[in-house]
Amino acid sequence: MSHYAALLLAIPLLAAFAMPLFGLIGRRVRNTWAIIAMLATVAAALILVWEVLTQGTIVYAFGAVDQALTIPFDSGGVPIRILFVIDAMSAFMILTAAIMMSAATLYSISSESEQTGQDGYYALLFLLMAGIFGMVSTGDLFNFFVFLEINSLAGAALAAYRIKGGVAVEGGLKYAFISTVAGLFFLIAVGMLYGQYNSLNIAYIASVIDFTGLSLVAVVLMIVSLAMKSGSVPMHFWTPDTYSSAPSSITSLLIVSSMASLYAIFRIAFSLFGLTMNVVTVGWVIIILGILSMFIGVSMALPQKDVKRLMAYHSVSQIGYMLVGLGVGLAVLGDSQMMSQFGVVAMEGGIFHIINYALYKGLLFLIAGAVIYRCGTANLNDLGGLGHSMKWTMGFFIIAALAIAGIPPFNGFASKLMIYESVFIFNPFIAVIAMVVSIMTLASFVKVFHSIFMGPKLPQYEAVKEVPMPMLIGMGLLAVLIILFGLFPDLVVKTLVEPAALALIDRSGYIASVMGGI
Amino acid sequence: MQMSSIVKTTADVLFPFILIYGLYIILHGHLTPGGGFQGGAILASGVLLLLLAYRYSESTNIVRQVMMKTLESTGLLLFIIAALSAMVLGAGFFFNWLSPLGSIFGDSVAYGSTVANLNTGGLIPIMNIAVGIEVVGAISVILLALLSGIQEKI
Amino acid sequence: MIEEIPYLAVVLIAGIGIATILLKKNLIKMIMGLAIIEGAANLFLVTLGYREGGIAPIFTNNPGGEMVLPTVQAMTLTNIVIGFATSALLLAFAIMIYRRYGSVETKNIRRLRE
């Protein structure tokens, strides 16, 4: 039995806790430690993902002699320990988080090299990652709440880390407020479920659930709070403020943490409640949230002047695609004919879009960070002519911008096509809106490209050079993956995405992985 | 503003008692109500008493931020290493391998209504001590950071 | 009826907390509103675990009879610790904002929008 599930959590925590002590020795030692710990975490994550894909769901019981023993003999058939349940969907999220973590850490090594307080920066970065890994792999509701809070506290502190005359603190404050309120609502919902079913384990609750009025309140509270945390429309006002004021490498990780909240919405909707609730209504609520997010996000993005603010509004719009794809899957969950006709494809599109979105959006924010690193401003009206001096950055920007606009052969096209095709059968109107949003996205990024990179070389940016090597490696890693995912979408869908979608649909399989060992 | 010498002397006298009480709460965390966080918070309240009784610049000579940060990291490292040590032995993460061994904190708990024995609990008291060290460091860092915002008017 | 009073109190306290966050313009008061919601969550959890006439859940020294639920108490303690960390972080942000802007009124904290 492997320990990689626990190591996935233990290594980032160990790295974070030791970071201030290594920082006392010297900066070179600390940077080396950060890179070693990052590599170790990514290695554990990759091995874990490989194990899940080859051997099926992995269950890890904390504090037990035999970590595969989910239900102790003297517990009366109830799982009492904290369990990690890592199925194909969790593995998919772990892979996404690990890729983004490696890129962001490498990027930080040079983008933060002239800043103060780096010990705390790296410690919080590893805590943030531990929170994300915990959120996507835990099988326990209260444990999820704890990781949610670790993630949001570390994220808020990092978002406000470079004070920037108080502006960044504003962004961090908004993030901290919204995530704490979301966390408390989630906790109250967990309490409601515990009061009815006397357990915190998702699989156990799913096996005994009897959908009462109180469960309805709980599911509404959970979906509302997690939608708040993931930045979809009614509660999207924090995303532009926080994403634009945080350091760029952190923004690319905050995106992953919003993806983890999104994952939790679907884990709760599919695995915890499943068909016991009215999936058509909940599915439609999620679809409508998705459509509103798509449209409002992109239309707010068009007039923005600050490049990071513009990208932040686009991230609201892109979250809409995932909500629509998975919401369609949820709405037809009860109908096996419609499910096989287009529901599975819609879910695969939504899930595939999660990793694609994380890759190109992370790359876009890293590029914005590179531009700010060299030029010191993010205002589109002041920038221009950087294509002459920052050739690599410009190349990466072209790749990411075409990917977000859904132009073949980049990865955004692959997942968006799956969403268009399947949603068109479900309701043509939604697919048309999604395509219009995609065109508006392209228009917006053409504007950004033109004002940052095109035009004659400006006199005030005469001395601007290409960014240092570690930043280029971080960005290049993401760019290469975007191209690979765009060139071989079938392979990725077959190996990673399809098992994830099937794992979400297969509620009884999730329950059996925990409760089967009686 | 300078506190009067009555306040300073009372703080000096009370400080060791607060330390003893906090350590008691930490060490008996597995037997009586309390534990690492609660005891650590009591210890940190002793630090707060010193910070309030003396001027900020004076008290930071005794309670240094670097020292407190080191305490915080040490406590957290002790905790995670205690959790990882089970993995070295082949059991799961956080497995309480010290409990039945009979050595330090290793006695098994007597069944029935007996007076509790301090030498039980396995890894739990060790983790309580680790959390106590961490909490006193962390709360002191927070207090120092928050109190550094006070403008002194003499 | 008497058993339901704590739950009514939970709803009332949570309502007061949300109203504080939404209506007050002072950052410190908004943070206090957050702490009030947290109190409501803690009260809710502890009430869930309470059993009339229950004893402390310690197994080896058990004289028989009903016990109160230990899990919710552990959850409450965890939430208190998390709430402590959250309040500390938010108050640190408030101090930062006061130093930079000279005010903690939300109407003055709008530099990001400009």
Whole-number pLDDT of residue B149: 66
Considering the entire predicted model, what is its pTM?
0.94
Q: Is residue B153 part of a domain?
A: no
- Which two three-digit tokens encode residue A282? 């909940």
> Which among A464, A365, A484, A387 is positioned nearest to A108, based on CA atoms?
A365
Percent over 90 (pLDDT), chain B: 37
- What average pLDDT does range C95-112 have in this prediction? 80
Q: Between the CA of residue A61 and those of A7, A58, A82, A274, what are the distances in Å? A: 13, 10, 6, 24
Q: How far apart are CA B35 and CA B45, in angstroms?
A: 15
Residue A114 CB partners (closer than 8 Å, separation 6+): none
- Which two three-digit tokens encode residue A122? 């790296």
Side chain identity at residue A224, one-letter code:
V
Q: What angle do CA B38, A143, A357 make, to 5 degrees?
A: 130
Residues recorded for chain B: 154
> Closest chain C residue to A195 measured between Cα atoms?
C48
**Could you tell me if B73 lies within 8 Å of chain A, comparing CB atoms?**
yes
Q: Is residue B152 part of a domain?
A: no
Whole-number pLDDT of residue A105: 92
Domain span at B137: 5-147
- Nearest CB to A20 within list B73, B92, B96: B73
- Does residue B114 carry a pLDDT above 80? no
Q: What is the dihedral of CA A17, A21, A26, A27, to 10 degrees?
A: 20
Mutation to test the C interface, candidates B25, B32, B37, B147, most C Cβ within 10 Å:
B37
**Could you tell me if B95 lies within 8 Å of chain A, comparing CB atoms?**
yes
Side chain identity at residue B96, one-letter code:
N
- Nearest CB to B93 within list A10, A20, A66: A10
Kindly report the nearest CA distance between residue C44 and chain A, in angstroms: 7
Whole-number pLDDT of residue A188: 93
Which chains touch B (3+ CB pairs under 8 A)? A, C
Q: What is the pLDDT of residues C43-86, one digit of tens each?
A: 999 998 888 888 777 666 566 778 888 889 899 999 999 999 99
**Could you tell me if B78 lies within 8 Å of chain A, comparing CB atoms?**
no
Q: Is residue B154 part of a domain?
A: no
Q: What is the pLDDT of residues A441-452, one digit of tens each?
A: 998 988 888 888
Whole-number pLDDT of residue A181: 92
Q: Between the CA of residue A450 and those of A380, A384, C35, C104, what are the distances in Å? A: 9, 8, 48, 40
Q: How confident is the model at residue A380 (pLDDT cuts 50, 70, 90)?
A: confident
Whole-number pLDDT of residue B115: 64
- Quick check: A21 and B70 CB within 8 A? yes
Q: Is residue A380 part of a domain?
A: yes
- Which two three-digit tokens encode residue A271? 């695995």
> Cβ of A352: how many Cβ atoms within 10 Å?
30
Whole-number pLDDT of residue A406: 84
Q: How far apart are CA A250 and CA A240, in angstroms?
A: 14
Number of domains comprising chain A = 1
Residues of B in contact with A60 (CB under 8 A): 92-93
- Quick check: B110 and C60 CB within 8 A? yes
Kindly report the nearest CA distance between residue B101 and chain A, in angstroms: 15
Q: Is residue A3 part of a domain?
A: no
Q: What number of helices (H) and strands (E) belong to chain B?
A: 5, 0
Whole-number pLDDT of residue B113: 60
Q: What is the pLDDT of residues A342-362, one digit of tens each?
A: 888 999 999 999 999 999 999
- Quick check: B92 and A17 CB within 8 A? no
3-state secondary structure A432-447: HHHHHHHHHHHHHHHH
Phi then psi dihedrals of residue C64, to 5 deg: 95, 165
Q: Is residue A7 part of a domain?
A: no
- Does residue A191 carry a pLDDT above 80? yes
- Nearest CB to C44 within list A171, A173, A188: A188
> Closest chain B residue to A4 measured between Cα atoms?
B93
Q: What is the pLDDT of residues B94-105, one digit of tens each?
A: 888 877 776 777
Domain span at A382: 278-487
Q: How confident is the model at residue C41 (pLDDT cuts 50, 70, 90)?
A: very high
Q: Between the CA of residue C29 and those of C10, C24, C25, C34, what are the distances in Å? A: 20, 7, 8, 9
- Which two three-digit tokens encode residue A450? 């033109």
Whole-complex ipTM: 0.94
- Nearest CB to A20 within list B69, B80, B94: B69
| Mean pLDDT, rounded, of chain A | 89
- Quick check: A146 and C78 CB within 8 A? yes
Q: How confident is the model at residue B154 (pLDDT cuts 50, 70, 90)?
A: very low
Whole-number pLDDT of residue A513: 87
Whole-number pLDDT of residue C111: 65
Q: Is residue A446 part of a domain?
A: yes
- Quick check: A60 and B92 CB within 8 A? yes
Q: How far apart are CA C71 and CA C49, in angstroms?
A: 8
Q: Is residue B14 part of a domain?
A: yes
Q: What is the pLDDT of residues B35-75, one digit of tens each?
A: 889 999 999 999 999 888 887 777 777 778 888 889 999 99
Percent over 70 (pLDDT), chain A: 99
Whole-number pLDDT of residue C113: 59
Whole-number pLDDT of residue C86: 93
Q: What is the pLDDT of residues A222-259, one digit of tens each?
A: 999 999 898 888 888 889 889 988 888 999 999 999 99
- Does residue A131 carry a pLDDT above 90? yes
Phi then psi dihedrals of residue A91, to 5 deg: -60, -40
> Cβ of A183: how many Cβ atoms within 10 Å?
27
Which residues of B have a CB under 8 Å from any CB of C? 37, 109-114, 142, 145-146, 149
- What average pLDDT does range A361-378 have in this prediction? 88
Kindly report the nearest CA distance between residue B16 and chain A, in angstroms: 28
Residue spans per domain, chain C: 2-113
> Which among C45, C35, C38, C55 is positioned nearest to C75, based on CA atoms?
C45
Percent over 90 (pLDDT), chain A: 41
CATH number for the domain whose boundaries are C2-113: 1.10.287.3510
Q: How confident is the model at residue A518 (pLDDT cuts 50, 70, 90)?
A: very low
Phi then psi dihedrals of residue C67, to 5 deg: -115, 150
- What average pLDDT does range A307-335 have in this prediction? 89
Which residues of C have a CB under 8 Å from any CB of A? 14, 21, 27, 30, 34, 37-38, 40-41, 44-45, 48, 71-72, 75, 78-79, 82, 85-86, 89-90, 93-94, 96-97, 99-101, 109, 111-112
- Nearest CB to B95 within list A13, A17, A65: A65
- Nearest CB to C112 within list A146, A184, A241: A241
- Does residue A312 carry a pLDDT above 70? yes
- Nearest CB to A3 within list B70, B81, B87: B87
- Quick check: A191 and C37 CB within 8 A? no
Q: How far apart are CA A188 and CA C49, in angstroms?
A: 14
Preceding amide of A409 cis, omega within 30: yes
- Quick check: B80 and A64 CB within 8 A? no
Kindly report the nearest CA distance between residue B56 and chain C, in angstroms: 17
Whole-number pLDDT of residue C114: 55
- What average pLDDT does range A95-99 have in this prediction? 94
- What average pLDDT does range A89-101 have in this prediction? 93
Q: Is residue A173 part of a domain?
A: no
Q: How far apart are CA A304 and CA B42, in angstroms?
A: 51
Q: How far apart are CA A458 and CA B18, in angstroms?
A: 65
Residues of A in contact with B92 (CB under 8 A): 3, 6, 60-67
- Does residue B129 carry a pLDDT above 90? yes
Number of domains comprising chain B = 1
Whole-number pLDDT of residue A303: 86
C-alpha of C107 from chain center: 26
Residues of A in contact with C44 (CB under 8 A): 188, 191
Whole-number pLDDT of residue A92: 93
**Could you tell me if A80 lies within 8 Å of chain B, comparing CB atoms?**
no
- Does residue A90 carry a pLDDT above 80? yes
Q: Is residue A88 part of a domain?
A: no
